[in-house]
Amino acid sequence: ERSLLGIKELDASEISQLLGRTAYWDNQSEKLTPVLRAHFVANMFFENSTRTRFSFEMAEKRLGVQVLNFTAAASSVEKGESIYDTVRTLESMGIDAGVVRLKPAGVLQQLAGKVNIPLINAGDGNNEHPTQALLDLYTMRKHFGELKGLKVSIIGDIMHSRVARSNLWALTKMGASVQFCAPANMQAPELAAYAPYVSMEEALKADVVMMLRVQLERHASGIILSAEQYREQFGLTEERAAKLDAATIIMHPAPVNRNVEIDDAVVESSQSRIFPQMANGVPVRMAVMERALQ
């Protein structure tokens, strides 16, 4: 299988293999290794993105891939064309793979069953964001040496988070343990069987403290806590960050709501790995692209 629809469908050895290839690409000093120059890939983003979109493009270009960038707002989607017809259209033109970001969960799986090219999930609703989890695991592995036995706290808007779900599946498969911390209206009760919900005080006692963005755009019923109340109760404030164990690392998939879920000064503190996470997104996506096309 050359598609990557989610971490749920990978086993530990496949994850290890992808992380191994990520390390290989991360250690290459040459920026351009055009081994995939005979391949055409469309990046199809039906939802906004900065990091995922551009790091896929960087990864593809570093491998010499011929890149087609599709943005829904500048396409016939605006005339009512469906996601399926859009992907089929690009497939008819001869693309060899598609990188797809979608708002609704579940659509990508259906789409993959109807096309003959590998599809790579660049984030689908609150379902999965597999390349984000891979870059998060790579960042942890690079820092700690191994993933087995790590304790990872994921704090914030779990309900709407595909990042939390993909990390949960990936970390538990690799022998790490996950715990969640979230206000009541941001919890995902169906995940409680896989990771306990703990207090903020408890969540800060971990090897990795992963903060999540409060996804204001996805809260149909409104936010119960104000930004200031959220920061006080669930934010990684400077005061809380100062109490973390010196060996703990701080992560966030970004974009960041500075001074809501994480204080401005903490984003760029010595324990933060937020910008290295973004850097690691490129070799991870090179590894995923290589798997899809070779």
Tell me the binding residues for L-aspartate.
Answer: 79, 162, 213
**Shortest separation between residue 282's beta carbon and ligand CP, angstroms:** 13
By CB under 6 A, residue 233 contacts ligand CP: no
CA distance 272 to 210: 10
How far is residue 120 from each of residues 96, 101, 178, 293, measured CA to CA in Å?
12, 9, 25, 11
Start-end of H helices in 63-192: 83-93, 107-114, 130-144, 162-173
**Shortest separation between residue 252's beta carbon and ligand CP, angstroms:** 9
Q: Is the previous residue joined to 104 through a cis bond, with omega within 30 degrees of 0?
A: no
**Shortest separation between residue 276's beta carbon and ligand CP, angstroms:** 13
Please identify, using beta-carbon distances, which residue of 106 and 255 lies nearer to ligand CP: 255
Q: Are 97 and 288 in contact (CB under 8 A)?
A: no
Residue whose structure tokens are 């006692």: 205
CB count, 10 Å around CB of 153?
23
In the chain, the amino acid numbered 119 is L
Q: Which of 253, 257, 266, 288 binds ligand CP (CB under 6 A)?
A: 253
Q: Which of residues 117-146 bind ligand CP (CB under 6 A)?
A: 123, 132
Please identify, using beta-carbon distances, which residue of 49 and 89 lies nearer to ligand CP: 49
**Shortest separation between residue 202's beta carbon and ligand CP, angstroms:** 26
Distance of CA 10 to the CA centre of its chain: 15
Segment interacting with ligand CP (CB under 6 A) among 36-44, 166-174, 184-192, 250-258: 250-258
Segment interacting with ligand CP (CB under 6 A) among 19-27, 110-118, 214-222, 252-260: 252-260
CA distance 35 to 292: 13
Q: Which helix (H) or strand (E) holds 287?
A: helix 274-293
- By rule CB under 6 A, what count of residues binds ligand CP? 10
By CB under 6 A, residue 50 contacts ligand CP: yes
Segment interacting with ligand CP (CB under 6 A) among 30-38, 51-59, 63-71, 107-115: 51-59
Summarize as ranges the residues that interact with ligand CP (CB under 6 A): 49-53, 123, 132, 253-255
